[in-house]
Amino acid sequence: RDHNNGSRGALIVLEGLDRSGKSSQCSRLLSYLVGLGHSAELWRFPDRSTGVGKIISSYLSNNSQLDDHTIHMLFSANRWEKRSLMENKLETGTTLIVDRYSYSGVAFSSAKGLHFEWCKAPEIGLLAPDLVVYLDILPEKAAERGGYGGERYEHLEFQKKVARCYQVLRDSSWEIIDACQPIEDVEKQLKGMVLDCVMACQKGKPLSNLWP
- Interaction site with ligand Z5A (CB under 6 A): 16, 18-24, 45-46, 60, 75, 100, 104-105, 108, 145-146, 153-154, 179, 182-183, 186
Distances (CA, A) of 112 to 48, 109, 159, 164, 183: 22, 5, 11, 12, 31
Beta bridge partners, 42, equal: 97
Quick one: which H or E segment has residue 26? helix 22-35
3-state SS record for 116-157? HHHHHHHHCCCECCCEEEEEECCHHHHHHCCCCCCCCCCCHH
Pick 26 or 127: Cβ nearer Mg ion: 26
Q: Report, in Å, the least distance between residue 29 CB and Mg ion.
A: 13
The one of Mg ion, ligand Z5A, none whose footprint includes residue 85, by CB under 5 to 8 A per kind, is none
Which residues, including other chains, have CB under 8 Å from residue 80's CB and lie 6 or more apart? 122, 126
Query: What is the number of the residue whose Cβ is closest to Mg ion?
Result: 23
Nearer to ligand Z5A by Cβ, of 4 and 25: the residue is 25
Minimum separation from the CB atom of position 4 to ligand Z5A (A): 28
Residue 84 Cβ vs Mg ion, minimum distance, rounded to whole Å = 25
Please return the burial class of 17, using the count of CB atoms within 10 Å of its CB with bins 0-12, 13-18 and 19+: buried
CB contact at 8 A, 72 and 127: no
Nearest distance in Å: CB 20, Mg ion:
9
- CA-nearest of 162, 30, 44 to 101 is 44
In the complex, minimum distance from the CB of residue 125 to ligand Z5A, in angstroms, rounded to a whole number: 15
In the bound state with Mg ion, the residue whose beta carbon lies nearer, of 91 and 144, is: 144
Q: Under the phi-then-psi rule, with left for phi > 0, alpha for psi from -120 to 50, and beta for the rest, what region is 21?
A: left
Scan residues 5-24 and list those touching Mg ion (CB under 5 A): 23
Q: Which does 129 bind (CB under 5 to 8 A by kind): ligand Z5A, Mg ion, none?
A: none
Q: Which does 100 bind (CB under 5 to 8 A by kind): ligand Z5A, Mg ion, none?
A: ligand Z5A
**Smaller CB distance to ligand Z5A: residue 64 or 92?**
64
Site string for Mg ion, 63-82 (x = CB under 5 A): --------------------
Q: Enumerate binding residues for Mg ion (CB under 5 A).
A: 23
